[in-house]
């Protein structure tokens, strides 16, 4: 099946999305919009990983990690608003909590013992 797009790595759900679009006979332009949004959403989270991973070792990287938490939290809220509860919302909520804990601990800094 030629999508005209470069497919992300397997396991992302994108091939399943293409199958659902073909099976449900979703017509243009909605099919193209769905493909583009799926890819943009995947790229967004990949970029967040690229930002958050090195930020965890920076002196003021906790604030950057907290910004990543805000981004994933906003995405989770948007998905919940438009699509309701489904596994991606739960996973994004967990990722947001992990970002919040990690960023919060890093912002507080190491505990000083006297």
How confident is the model over 39-49, as pLDDT tens digits? 888 888 899 98
Note whether residue 89 is domain-resident: yes
**Tokens describing residue 50:** 């690229």
Max mean pLDDT range (12-16, 29-33, 102-106): 102-106
Structure tokens at 26: 């979703």
Could you tell me which residue, 15 or 91, shows the higher pLDDT? 91
Global confidence as pTM: 0.68
74 three-state secondary structure:
helix
Is 7 inside a domain boundary? no
DSSP letters along 27-84, please?
PTTHHHHHHHHHHHHHHHHHHHHHHHHHHTTSTTHHHHHHHHHHHHHHHHHHHHHHH-
Averaged pLDDT of the chain: 80
Residue 9's pLDDT band, with cuts at 50, 70 and 90, is: very low
Instruction: Confirm whether 2 is domain-assigned.
Output: no
Does 3 map to a domain?
no
pLDDT-derived band at 113, boundaries 50, 70, 90: very low
Let me know if residue 113 belongs to a domain: no
Q: Is residue 50 domain-resident?
A: yes
Residues 105, 65 contacting (CB under 8 angstroms): no
User: pLDDT at position 13, please?
Assistant: 62
Number of domains in the chain: 1
Domain containing residue 89: 14-108
Report yes or no: 64 and 55 within 8 Å, Cβ to Cβ: yes
Q: Would residue 75 count as lying in a domain?
A: yes
Residue 58 lies in a domain: yes
Closest CA to 103 of 57, 62, 75: 62
């Amino acid at each position: 099946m030629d999508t005209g797009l470069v497919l992300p790595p397997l396991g992302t759900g994108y091939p399943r999305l293409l199958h659902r679009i073909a099976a449900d006979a979703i017509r243009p332009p909605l099919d193209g919009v769905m493909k583009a949004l799926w890819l943009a959403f995947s790229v967004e989270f990949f970029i967040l990983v690229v930002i958050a991973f090195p930020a965890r070792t920076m002196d003021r990287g906790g604030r950057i990690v907290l910004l990543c938490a805000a981004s994933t939290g906003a995405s989770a809220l948007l998905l919940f608003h438009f699509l309701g509860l489904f596994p991606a919302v739960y996973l994004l909520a967990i990722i947001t909590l992990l970002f919040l804990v990690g960023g919060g601990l890093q912002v507080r800094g190491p505990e000083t013992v006297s």
